[in-house]
């Protein structure tokens, strides 16, 4: 046994001994007090799903992870072969630095922005089936930008926020900002009432089903009942047999044995994904500063409550995504691509839940805040890039002391962290126990939520005691 594995062996042995004794010692204590709920890790289903819904979640994950092949309708042009190939960090349904390209011709005088629809715009499909011509960025495009992949966690809850609960911040805006709701029509209800968009970098989509249909078509080339006709390279959509290199008749997606299309399955997975965890759950100095300097004017720090929907696990639930879901003029940070109501310079405030996991990878729509010396530097670069309506809060941020900036960064890094996850890898394993076992304090008040040890204080009473260890046992996932 080498030194490291021996150490891990000992730490595991200690873990089982302490944990075993703990269960015995405090069984009585716990029966008197409610058990602390364990936050689901990213990629886990929402708590409270029925067995039938859990089954749909599992089948949905299969569809989301499934690698499409040519016989199923992949292509003729696409950006990848499965949803998961872009949405994978730290697990299926998540985010990544993988980027797609959008292009067009900028507005000049009375001529508006031209998305070059007839030349395959504004989204490029960079890959092609072997027999097909590739889609290239047309020579006349003078706006060519990248957008990276955001995560899909907690999207059933996001979808179940009432439109009016988003619009209230448009009608009664916080001082200094003027967000606008992006009003759109879901593809599945073309004649139904318009809804407030909330998905995508420009809030261009209101429902998970529309996004799943759109992404199936635009990213995988899988035509479906909502987006029924395949794209052709640098040309308008042409129904089969017009496009000779994809021989599967449109629409390529269709019902399985239970009547669900692939886009329905993918939708189930995303709707039933739990929201990202946050640890400590509250009380960090950085959050108070974040609120005080105006970040929360857009990255709303108060919770939303969902409306009643078909699933109890999604109904009347609170969620704290740290966004207003509104479009804001971000000045020079804009990407030059108008979409629907959203102008060249507008972006939706992105949810900051889970941002601690994204920060080491890439931040901002084009991932420009990445690859710096530290996670803190990536966060700092993302913050100071805010222009337009975000500029005033940057002035306040720049005026903070180094210590207060660190508080803000530490708060942002708490968004996405599991309790007890010292390694910050979305698992609670024996390695985390190895790191945390020496920090036990026993009962009392020993530290605040700003302390690194606070990740072990699940009941947030200022200590890391046997009650917390009992919760650690339940949170234990292994590597």
Instruction: Enumerate binding residues for ligand HEC (CB under 6 A).
Output: 79-80, 83, 85-87, 98, 100, 147-150, 152, 177, 199-201, 208, 211-212, 215-216, 219-220, 266, 270, 290, 293-295, 297-299, 328, 330, 333, 347, 349-350, 355, 358, 363-365, 379, 382-383, 386, 389-390, 393-394, 397, 408, 412
Nearest-approach distance from CB 296 to ligand HEC, in angstroms: 8
Question: Which of residues 99 and 475 has its CB atom nearest to ligand HEC in the complex?
Answer: 99
Under 8 Å between Cβ of 446 and 469: no
Nearer to ligand HEC, 8 or 225 (CB): 225
Tell me the C-alpha distance between 409 and 248, whole Å.
50
Rounded CA-CA distance 86/127 in Å is: 14
**End-to-end Cα spacing for the chain:** 20
In angstroms, what is the minimal distance from the CB of 270 to ligand HEC? Answer: 6
Compute the least distance from the CB of residue 474 to ligand HEC, in Å: 30
| Shorter beta-carbon distance to ligand HEC: residue 100 or 314 | 100
CB closer to ligand HEC out of 180 and 317 = 180
Check: CB of residue 162 under 8 Å from CB of residue 316.
no
CB of residue 378 to ligand HEC, shortest distance in Å: 9
Burial of 225 (0-12, 13-18, 19+ CB in 10 A): middle
- Put residue 306 in one of left, alpha, beta given phi > 0 → left and psi -120 to 50 → alpha: beta
Q: Which is nearer to ligand HEC, 226 or 458 (CB)?
A: 226
**Considering beta carbons, is residue 15 or 290 the nearer one to ligand HEC?**
290
Record the tokens describing residue 281, joined without a space.
């759950």
Which is nearer to ligand HEC, 270 or 436 (by Cβ)?
270
How far apart (Å, rounded) are the C-alpha atoms in residues 209 and 187?
8
**Closest distance between ligand HEC and the C-beta of residue 129, in Å?**
16
The nearer residue to ligand HEC, 74 or 152, going by C-beta atoms, is 152
Nearer Cβ to ligand HEC, position 235 or 336? Answer: 336
Residues 39 and 419: beta-carbon distance below 8 Å:
yes
Minimum Å distance from CB 49 to ligand HEC? Answer: 19
Say how far apart CA 228 and CA 297 lie, in whole Å.
40
Residue 219 is encoded by which pair of tokens?
Answer: 């990213």
Cα atoms in the 13 Å half-sphere on the side-chain side of 145: 22
- Residue 288 has a CB neighbour count (10 Å cut-off) of 14
Least separation, in Å, of the C-beta of 446 and ligand HEC? Answer: 29
Report the length, in residues, of the chain.
479
Range 306-339 burial, b when 16+ CB lie within 10 A, else e:
beebebebbeebebbbbbbbbbbbbeebbbbbbb
For the four alpha carbons of 28, 30, 34 and 40, in that order, the dihedral sign comes to negative
Quote the least distance from Cβ 441 to ligand HEC, whole Å.
31
* CB-based contact 128:75 (threshold 8 Å): yes
Query: Nearest distance from residue 470's CB to ligand HEC, in Å?
Result: 34
């Amino acid at each position: 046994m080498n030194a490291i594995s021996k150490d891990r062996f000992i730490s595991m042995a200690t873990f089982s001994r302490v944990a075993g004794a703990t269960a015995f010692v405090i069984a009585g204590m716990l029966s008197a007090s409610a058990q602390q709920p364990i936050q689901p890790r990213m990629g886990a289903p929402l708590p409270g799903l029925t067995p039938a819904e859990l089954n749909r979640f599992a089948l949905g994950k299969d569809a989301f992870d499934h690698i499409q092949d040519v016989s199923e309708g992949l292509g003729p042009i696409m950006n990848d072969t499965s949803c998961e190939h872009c949405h994978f960090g730290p697990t299926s349904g998540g985010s990544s630095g993988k980027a797609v390209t959008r292009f067009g011709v900028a507005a000049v005088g009375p001529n508006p922005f031209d998305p070059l629809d007839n030349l395959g715009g504004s989204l490029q499909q960079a890959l092609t089936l072997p027999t097909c011509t590739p889609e290239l960025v047309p020579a006349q495009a003078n706006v060519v930008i990248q957008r990276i992949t955001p995560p899909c966690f907690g999207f059933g809850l996001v979808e179940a926020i009432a439109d009016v609960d988003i619009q209230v911040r448009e009608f009664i805006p916080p001082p200094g900002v003027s967000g606008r709701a992006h009003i759109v029509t879901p593809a599945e209800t073309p004649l139904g009432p318009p809804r407030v968009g909330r998905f995508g970098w420009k809030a261009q989509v209101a429902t998970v089903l529309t996004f799943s249909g759109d992404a199936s078509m635009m990213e995988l080339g899988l035509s479906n009942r909502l987006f029924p006709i395949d794209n052709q390279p640098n040309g308008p959509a042409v129904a089969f047999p017009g496009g000779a290199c994809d021989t599967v008749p449109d629409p390529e997606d269709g019902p399985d044995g239970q009547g669900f299309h692939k886009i329905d399955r993918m939708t189930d997975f995303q709707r039933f994904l739990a929201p990202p965890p946050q640890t400590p759950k509250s009380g960090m100095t950085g959050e108070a500063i974040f609120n005080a300097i105006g970040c929360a004017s857009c990255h709303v720090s108060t919770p939303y409550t969902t409306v009643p929907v078909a699933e109890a696990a999604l109904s009347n639930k609170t969620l704290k995504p740290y966004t207003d879901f509104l479009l804001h003029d971000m000045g020079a940070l804009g990407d030059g691509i108008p979409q629907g109501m959203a102008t060249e310079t507008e972006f939706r405030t992105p949810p900051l839940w889970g941002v601690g996991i994204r920060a080491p990878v890439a931040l901002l729509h084009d991932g420009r805040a990445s690859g710096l010396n530290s996670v803190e530097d990536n966060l700092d670069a993302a913050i100071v890039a805010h222009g337009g309506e975000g500029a005033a809060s940057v002035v306040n941020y720049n005026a903070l002391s180094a210590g207060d900036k660190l508080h803000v960064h530490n708060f942002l890094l708490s968004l996405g962290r599991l309790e007890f996850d010292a390694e910050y890898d979305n698992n609670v394993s024996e390695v985390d126990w190895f790191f945390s076992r020496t920090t036990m304090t026993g009962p009392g008040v020993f530290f605040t939520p700003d302390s690194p040890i606070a990740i072990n204080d699940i009941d947030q009473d200022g200590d890391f005691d046997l009650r917390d260890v009992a919760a650690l046992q339940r949170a234990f996932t292994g590597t």
